Amino acid sequence: MTLHPTTPDFKDNAHQALHDPELQKALGHVQHGFIYKRQSAVERLPEFETLRESARDLKNHVLQNLDLYLETYERNVTSSGGQVHFARTSAEACETIVNICKSHGAKSVTKGKSMVSEEIGLNAAIEAAGMQAVETDLGEYIIQLRGETPSHIIAPAVHLTKEQVEGDFRRVHTHLDGARDLSEPVQLLTEARGVLREKFLAADVGITGANFLVAETGTSIIVTNEGNGDLTQSLPKVHIVIASIEKIVPTLEDASLLLRVLARSATGQDMSVYTTLSTGPRRPQDPDGPEHYHVVLVDNGRSAMLGTEFEDMLRCIRCGACMNHCPVYHAIGGHAYGWVYPGPMGAVMTPSLIGVEKGGHLPNASTFCGRCESVCPVKIPLPKLMRHWRENEFERHLTPAVQRFGLKIWGFFAKNPRLYSFATRAAMTTLAWLGRDKGRFASLPLAKGWTDYRDLPAPQGDTFQAQWRKRQQEARR
């Protein structure tokens, strides 16, 4: 699926999402399950806060020395018999992967979950080259059946109810006996597992993402809860790892630090069920493994973020905690964001990768409640980074004219206290008089954005400062 951003239509997307009863039902799970589980996992680990600081410092160190670690990583992949390909853009990355698949005469390609593969539109490229791409993560598999993109970076099908999934399986899995009960998640899982087993065995190439790339050993690490990553990478004769450049960590020890915060932040597990390390192709003494091992390292705009006010964003380890705790994400789900990365991390990443001209709504559609930053395992100051995008827009005159005009007027009065006092006293006494009967306004010109949804409380009367001055004068008399 190519990823044409619908981010410029964010408001329409959000409107539709708010009026989609199935979506709203499905979103209920995000709002409670993830949060509660993370909270209890964090409470079980007294040093969690310290680990967040260490994780932040580690990722900062990597970003400051990224070239060094990338070269070390490449050297160690090569010495273990693998090959590293650097791709500057989406197109280069897709081309590299398609060429590897073609050179092995591949017909069928299995994939573990990888957000960067969504970012570069890999499935579409594989299919355009005449091969079949099969997603093996259950959530990814479901959305692939539906022709959708992930709505969450770790729970791609979180926007669906189990009834919708049952409907999709009955539609696509034509072998299914109509009488078979598929009403429970475990029954759906069993059905998917049966179908996917055949695909695993038939695959010529397996593609996985990476949670971490370990420089000292040339190892890629993925975590899954389904074990699909293991089958994807060990059964086919070719294994391709696709990862973005900031996934590097110096040592295995460092990877274990990040693993300690990753699953706890993501799903509230102490560890994901499977943590799979892969280093090069199968060695003679190995019982199984691929014959060929490739790593495609994708830049696609990331190196341009280094050294800018957005560098902090490259610490992200893609746990999804920010979106799990985001009131805006809870309200509208992930698809409304219109591109690959939703939620607060998406609100910073999307303008960085597709441009603020297209992605500009996202850093604005935040209440700055700060809950995302408070749970981020690598302490990314997400509201601050969103504010940097707003500054960027303001400087480039991309801020909507009405807002700009309003700010200008407000700024003019705020910077002139005497004028401010005069104008606000006049305005507030008038408004107070107009609203004296009800104490509020059900509609008010220029305040439609507010009064369409809620009443505007009426002011009490004269301003506080004016009343205070009066009282001080009376007291002196």
Residues that bind other proteins (CB under 8 A): 11, 14-15, 18, 327-328, 330-332, 364-371, 373-374, 387, 389-395, 399-400, 403, 407, 410-411, 413-415, 417-418, 420-421, 424, 427-428, 437-440, 442, 447, 449-450, 452-465, 467-469
The minimum distance between CB 313 and other proteins, in angstroms, equals: 17
Pick 27 or 134: Cβ nearer other proteins:
27
Considering beta carbons, is residue 197 or 438 the nearer one to other proteins?
438
Nearer to other proteins, 103 or 412 (CB): 412
To other proteins, the closest distance from the beta carbon of 34 in angstroms equals 14
Distance of closest approach, residue 260 Cβ to other proteins, in angstroms: 24
| 181 or 437: CB nearest other proteins | 437
> Any idea what the Cα angle at residue 243 is, between residues 242 and 245, rounded to 5°?
140
Tell the smallest beta-carbon distance from residue 462 to other proteins (Å).
7
State which residue, 210 or 376, has the beta carbon closest to other proteins: 376
Nearer to other proteins, 290 or 383 (CB): 383
Measured distance CA(227)–CA(247) in Å, rounded:
21
In the complex, the smallest distance separating the C-beta of residue 475 from other proteins, rounded to whole angstroms, is: 12
C-beta closer to other proteins: residue 189 or 419: 419
Least distance from other proteins to the Cβ atom of residue 410, Å: 6
Contact call for residues 114 and 305 (beta carbons, < 8 A): no
Whether residue 418 contacts residue 431, with contact meaning beta carbons closer than 8 Å, is answered with no
Residues near 58 by beta carbon (within 8 Å), at least 6 away in sequence: 249, 250, 254, 257, 258
Identity (one letter) of the amino acid at 199?
K
The nearer residue to other proteins, 183 or 473, going by C-beta atoms, is 473
Q: How far is the CB of 408 from other proteins (least distance, A)?
A: 9
* Shortest distance (Å) from residue 30 CB to other proteins: 13
How many other CB atoms are there within 10 angstroms of residue 83's CB atom? 16
CA of residue 353 relative to chain centroid, distance = 13
